[in-house]
Amino acid sequence: MHRKSYSRLGLVFIASALLLATGITQAERGAAVQLESDRAEMSQATGIGVYTGNVELTHGDTIIRGDRMTVHTSQNREIERVVVEGEPANFVRAREGQQEPIRGYAPRMEYHATAPEHVRLLQGARLVQGTNEFTGETIHYDLTEERVAAEGAGERRTRITFFPRQDENAEGEDE
């Protein structure tokens, strides 16, 4: 009886340490990963799963959608990397203390769950928060530091559109 308790306690400790070592948010720690798709293939030996057809991955406050998703996991079944393809692939991430979530769109996306947690939007990307928007051929967004880097390609340049924050107490503000 005691041996099982110690064994479970050890597993909880190891899982907690691994979660703390990754860049996932507070809401995601201990959260189950939910995957929905029309078709799924997964190899426990390699830790790679391929999901096709209307794929949606939910993990804590992050939702990723696409037509095809390749999920790479560690031996402990922690997500390490997700490669998403779609028209467009997209992600939504609620941000602590922020009213508007951050949203990303691109034909191809790579989400890296390990520290530093980040997403790369590829082949014509768009990153949006409220009315503010980044566009470019490639966008790299560091989810931990909330830092954005965008690159153009050929004649296609990066474009950033942002608006000053509105004072919540301002008079004459439309709601």
pLDDT of residue 53: 98
Task: Indicate the average pLDDT of the chain.
Answer: 82
Q: 5 pLDDT band (50/70/90 cuts)?
A: very low
Asked whether the predicted pLDDT for residue 11 surpasses 90, the reply is no
CA-based torsion, 74, 77, 79, 85: positive or negative: positive
Q: Are strands 118-122 and 102-112 parallel, antiparallel or unpaired?
A: antiparallel
| Residue 167 pLDDT class (50, 70, 90 cuts) | low
Contact 107, 87 (CB under 8 A): yes
- Furthest C-alpha separation in the chain: 68
Q: At residue 24, does pLDDT exceed 80?
A: no
Lowest mean pLDDT among 11-15, 27-31, 110-114: 11-15
Q: Tokens standing for 35?
A: 């995957």
Which residue, among 61, 63, 65, 62, has the nearest Cα to 51 in the 3D structure? 65
CA angle 47, 50, 53 (to 5 degrees): 155
Mapping DSSP to helix (H, G, I), strand (E, B) and coil, where does residue 92 land?
Answer: strand
What b/e readout covers 96-105, taking b as 16+ CB neighbours within 10 angstroms?
A: eeeeebbbbb
For the segment(s) 2-161, the CATH number from 2.60.450.10, 1.10.600.10, 3.40.50.620, 3.20.20.70 is 2.60.450.10
pLDDT at 17: 31
Summarize pLDDT for 90-147 with one digit per residue, the tens.
999 998 888 899 999 999 999 999 889 999 999 999 999 999 999 999 999 999 898 9
